[in-house]
Structure 1
Amino acid sequence: MAAYVATSAEAYDRSMGRWSARLAEVMLDALALPSGAAVLDAGCGTGSLSAAIAARDATARITGVDLSETFVAAAQARVPGGRFSTGDVTRLDLPDAAFDAALSLLVLQFVPDRAAALAEMARVVKPSGLVATAMWDFTGGFSFLRAFADTVAATEPDGEAFRARYWSDPVGSPGRLSALLRDAGMRDVVERDLVIRQDFTDFADWWDPWASGGQGIAGAFVATLPPDRLPRVEALARRAYLAGGPDGPRSFVAVARLATGHRRA
């Protein structure tokens, strides 16, 4: 079963991209980047973070790297003034000390060698440059997706393996990201929560992006369900969303953990 699907920018933006855009604003509020900074968006996805940077500072010099050609094309269209290319964040094809800041938003959970990714981000920033990474706190702060994960873990043969893949590896839990930054040699490491709300108009708004688009981790799971199991999973997911109430709007708190540090001079 695919761990993460990144084949349709439009479907991704309907499922998780809209929350990435909201979280990007909160992240940038916390970072307060200087005007005209050279910024690397490591794992840029469809360009939520890069677009937020460009909207705040037209003089920012933005470079984005992502594994998905589809996402890179979407990011380039979204931020025409940036420079986007396909690449591996653990082996960046970029020069040393080229950036004022290297940022990653909602990336490290899906990178097998996180230490290598942080080492590369540290390598490409200037002395005293900023390295910042944010990741959802799957264990303690991601209730809108936890409801789905708990449902399939209790009912589906491969559901527990799906839940364990992300919830037993809580890189976004307190202390984990800051430890990675310190191991990468960063100084002045600080960690904090970023909080947003995820608002859905009804069950369909919550479910359909996974069922029809198949993007991200939940979409990857739903897309590989045998046809005879899909109606049951949808019915159980509906019960989890409704939680005994009528269909309609729901608002979930979503917490990401942000860690920042600076390259030693």
Structure 2
Amino acid sequence: MAFGSADSYARFMGRFSEPLAPRFADLVGLPVEGRVLDVGCGPGVLTSVLVDRLGAGRVDAIDPTPGFVAAARSRLPGVDVREGSAEALPYADGAYAASFAQLVVHFMKDPVRGLSEMARVTAPGAPVAACVWDHGGERGPLSLFWAAATEIDPSARREADASAGSTEGDLVRLFREAGLAAVESGELAVTIRLESFEDWWAPYEEPAGSVGDYLATRTADQVAELRERCRARLPDGRFDVTAVTWTAVGRA
């Protein structure tokens, strides 16, 4: 999956992930003492919220994409941001008072292994938390796009296809398979205001994520047709878009 630059991905998904981050942190709660870990930190959206609330000295972050690591380091000096995968976290057992994975479980090559590693590096009884867009229920930020694409091209890859944790109950299943205890499930929704269809469409022209991969395979005429299919599904003028995540919080 192509992520493009950190700036491209921020323009593509940032308008949803940025308002989600403080709500996700509120859901989990932050420890009074100890360090916290942001797994799959991307360009540092959730990391920034954690730093604002706890200070840079109590926050570590990790991501497998070099461009994202560089962006997070630049954005958040003083935070230990490392390049690495969730499936092989380079931290000691029980090192953290909480660990977070915002919008990343479905990108893990082995989600159960990744969540098991998060549990390993989190202190016994401390929270391990994740959230994933509800692609399976067609309530994610890209659901309208994929619905329109499938009308034209039934073979279009939808986000729900093989997206770990993105259908009802699946994130909780992964947590339990990873050995986490007292797992609690829930939902978080974010609503954003857009000025026009052009405002809605602009991020889809960024070379980021599964949308970028799919559009790169389309001709100019096919993209134009898809664009008009999307336009027909949305109102004229200003409108709101709501996207929903599944959440899971367990205990190491």
Picking from 202, 208, 214, the partner of 2:202 is 208
Any unmatched runs of 5+ in structure 1?
none
For residue 43 of structure 1, what is the aligned residue in structure 2? Answer: 40
For residue 176 of structure 2, what is the aligned residue in structure 1? Answer: 182
The aligned amino acid for 1:160 is: S
Instruction: Note if 1:257 corresponds to 2:246.
Output: yes
Q: Give the 3-state SS of the residue equivalent to 2:126 in structure 1.
A: strand
How far does residue 182 in structure 1 lie from its aligned partner after superposition? 1.6
Q: 1:167 to 1:79 in 2, by over 3 A?
A: same
Q: 1:92 to 1:29 in 2, by over 3 A?
A: same
Q: Deviations over 1:171-221 (max 9, x none)?
A: 23332112221222222111111111132211111111121x221222222
How far does residue 235 in structure 1 lie from its aligned partner after superposition? 2.2
How far does residue 99 in structure 1 lie from its aligned partner after superposition? 1.0
How many residues matched? 252
Instruction: Note if 1:238 corresponds to 2:231.
Output: yes
Q: Deviations over 1:112-163 (max 9, x none)?
A: 311111111111112222111111111225254211101111103xx53412
How far does residue 55 in structure 1 lie from its aligned partner after superposition? 1.2
The aligned amino acid for 1:30 is: L
Q: Give the 3-state SS of the residue equivalent to 2:82 in structure 1.
A: strand
Taking only the aligned residue pairs, the percentage that are identical comes to 32
For residue 152 of structure 1, what is the aligned residue in structure 2? Answer: 149
The aligned amino acid for 2:209 is: G
Q: Give the 3-state SS of the residue equivalent to 2:12 in structure 1.
A: helix
For residue 107 of structure 2, what is the aligned residue in structure 1? Answer: 110
How far does residue 24 in structure 1 lie from its aligned partner after superposition? 0.8
Q: 1:210 to 1:60 in 2, by over 3 A?
A: same
Matches within 5 A, 1:160-171: 160-163=155-158, 166-167=160-161, 169=163, 171=165
For residues 191 and 177 of structure 1, the distance between their equivalents in structure 2, rounded to whole angstroms, comes to: 8
Any unmatched runs of 5+ in structure 2?
none
Q: Tell me how large the CA RMSD over aligned residues is.
A: 1.9
How far does residue 261 in structure 1 lie from its aligned partner after superposition? 0.9
Q: Give the 3-state SS of the residue equivalent to 1:204 in structure 2.
A: helix
For residues 16 and 156 of structure 2, the distance between their equivalents in structure 1, rounded to whole angstroms, comes to: 25
For residues 206 and 11 of structure 1, the distance between their equivalents in structure 2, rounded to whole angstroms, comes to: 15
For residues 40 and 32 of structure 1, the distance between their equivalents in structure 2, rounded to whole angstroms, comes to: 13
For residue 127 of structure 2, what is the aligned residue in structure 1? Answer: 130
For residues 133 and 28 of structure 1, the distance between their equivalents in structure 2, rounded to whole angstroms, comes to: 10
* TM-score of the superposed pair, with normalisation by structure 1: 0.88
For residue 75 of structure 1, what is the aligned residue in structure 2? Answer: 72
How far does residue 60 in structure 1 lie from its aligned partner after superposition? 5.4
* TM-score of the superposed pair, with normalisation by structure 2: 0.92
Q: 1:168 to 1:99 in 2, by over 3 A?
A: closer
Question: Does structure 2 retain, via aligned residues, the 8 Å contact 1:37–1:60?
Answer: no
